[in-house]
Amino acid sequence: MNAALARVLDDVRRSDPPGAVADYIPQLAHVDPDRFGIATVSVAGHSYGAGDHRTPFTIQSISKPFVYALALQTLGIEAVGERIGVEPSGEAFNGISFDAQGRPENPLINAGAIVCTSLIPAADGAERFAAIRAGLSRFAGRELELDDAVYLSEAATGFRNLALAALARSTDALRTTVEDALDPYFRQCSLLVDAHDVAVMGATLASGGVNPVTGERVISEPVARQVLSVMAGCGMYDRSGAWLCTVGIPAKSGVGGGIVAASPGEYGIGVFSPPLDDAGNSSRGVAALQQLSDEFGLHMLSRPLTAVTALAGIDVDPASGRVTLRLRGEVDFVATEQLVHEILSTGQVRIGTAVTVDLTNATRLAPVARYLLTQMQHDLGYGVRVEILDPSGLLG
């Protein structure tokens, strides 16, 4: 995997997509434009990397989906939705984008992110930043440090963000003081990460909220799903539609040159390359993730033409006639439907036959699979009696 990632970096360097380092934050204008790294972390906690994947950079807007996750986890999806929308803005990341209710269009543009930061419960801005820093550190699996120089640079030049915060205050989306929202927002954007940290953060979302490196549950599965959904539709600013078509996995970029991406149930990806395209996304990062998606089949709407079976085998007891069907891995609707047809088409099942569904080697049941298996126990029909062997309690 390391060799494959290195090859992607080489290919993208040769193609040399155009881009320029962000200079509207003075401190960011000094970063080395030649830095380029990529890292992946699987939901099993295995890490891979190539290039400058351990070079620190400021997280910037990559922080937005993770602060959104902290707000959702603390206040609930409905309460956060009363203050921030989930629709693509079609505007630049610092655009004036408020809906008819006065809410910022989504939490991944600046207006929405400032409001989102303000939703983290705290007595003041300093306490709010401490809570955000602790939460983002749990996503990354290590304590994240603040780049004071970048923070001071952002705070000294963030006049447009000041205007956006004032507008949000005027619509009642922002209900703290402007200072208590903006100062922790500038600080959260100035936390230092590397591509490996970002990949761990993406993998935490990809694994349903559990950090695969530390094993800690950081957020609930419904919150992780909500965050990934918003990232899929809004994460790459006004290129989000093109991104969804060409790459097809939830992602979020930052003007520091980083991109976080998450392939649900598989792995997180972190990319770092400072030059940005005209939409504010890392130009080399976008090219690298497009190539990875094409070569590794990452697009979330791509599915194998032939379903992978969860049926590991069928055993028949010659003495009793009992039929045992052994399942493995994740069991979803397709697997459960196949199971029913296997039971009824084995040629071994007769009226009154006992059938055992063995879940010993299954790792997860989708909600629809739990429902269908429970119904099978009650009445499959044809006089077939179904028993389920469930040593891990997957049926709940």
Tell me whether residue 255 is annotated as binding: yes
**pLDDT on residue 123:** 92
Domain CATH number, residue 143: 3.40.710.10
Into how many domains does the chain fold?
Answer: 2
253 and 361 inside one domain: no
Does 304 map to a domain? no
**pLDDT score recorded for residue 284:** 97
Whether residues 278 and 346 fall in one domain: no
Q: Which pTM was predicted? A: 0.84
Task: Name the nearest CA neighbour of 343 among 374, 306, 378, 316.
Answer: 316
Q: What Rg do the C-alpha atoms of the chain give, in angstroms? A: 24
Residues 158 and 261 reside in one and the same domain: yes
User: Where a domain ends, among 228, 262, 296?
Assistant: 296
302 is a domain residue: no
91 is in an annotated binding site: no
- Angstrom CA distances, 276 to 151, 188, 236, 279, 284, stand at 20, 21, 12, 8, 8
For residue 105, say whether it is annotated as part of any ligand binding site: no
Domain assignment of residue 394, yes or no: no
Identify the H or E element spanning 346: none
Do residues 221 and 344 both lie within one domain?
no
CA distance 186 to 256: 13
Instruction: Tell whether 395 is covered by a domain.
Output: no
pLDDT attached to residue 227: 98
Residue finishing a domain among 263, 296, 329:
296
Measured CA to CA, the distance from residue 262 to residue 203 in angstroms comes to 6
Looking at the structure, tell me whether residues 284 and 315 fall in a common domain.
no
Q: Is residue 303 part of a domain?
A: no
Q: Are strands 251-253 and 258-263 parallel, antiparallel or unpaired?
A: antiparallel
Note whether 206 and 170 are same-domain residues.
Answer: yes
Strands, E, within the chain: which ranges? 37-42, 47-51, 57-58, 192-193, 251-253, 258-263, 267-272, 311-316, 323-331, 354-365, 385-389
Domain-embedded: residue 396: no
126 lies in which domain range?
2-296
- The residue count of the chain comes to 396
Q: Give me the CATH number covering residue 338.
A: 3.30.750.24
| 54 and 189 share one domain | yes
E-strand ranges in 264-395 read 267-272, 311-316, 323-331, 354-365, 385-389
Is 2 annotated in a binding site? The answer is: no
Q: Are residues 287 and 167 in the same domain?
A: yes
* pLDDT tens over the chain, length 396 residues: 888 899 999 999 999 899 999 888 888 888 999 999 999 999 999 999 999 999 999 999 999 999 999 999 999 999 999 999 999 876 777 777 788 899 999 999 999 999 999 999 999 999 999 999 999 999 999 999 999 999 999 999 999 999 999 999 999 999 999 999 999 999 999 999 999 999 999 999 999 999 999 999 999 999 999 999 999 999 898 788 888 899 999 999 999 999 999 999 889 999 999 999 988 899 999 999 999 998 888 888 876 555 567 777 788 887 777 888 888 888 877 777 777 776 666 555 555 577 888 899 988 888 888 888 887 777 655 567 788 888 989 887
The answer to whether residue 251 is domain-embedded is: yes
Enzyme catalytic residues: 61, 64, 185, 237, 255
pLDDT for residue 97: 79
Beta strand 354-365 with 323-331: parallel, antiparallel or unpaired? parallel
Question: For residue 347, what pLDDT is reported?
Answer: 53
Instruction: Indicate if 31 and 159 belong to the same structural domain.
Output: yes
- Percent helix / strand / coil, the chain, rounded to 5: 45, 20, 40
Domain boundary (264, 296, 328) is at 296
DSSP 12: H
Quote the pLDDT of residue 338: 74
Rounded distance, CA 143 to CA 264, Å? 25
Tokens of 392: 């891990």
Looking at the fold, whether 141 and 224 belong to one and the same domain comes out as yes
Question: Same domain, yes or no, for 30 and 130?
Answer: yes
Select from 153, 152, 133, 155 the least CA-distant residue to 144: 133
Q: Is 237 annotated as a binding residue?
A: yes
Is 163 a member of any domain?
yes
Q: Give yes or no for a contact between 154 and 25, defined as CB atoms under 8 angstroms apart.
A: yes
Distances (CA, A) of 208 to 139, 221, 330: 12, 5, 14
Whether 287 and 195 map to the same domain: the answer is yes
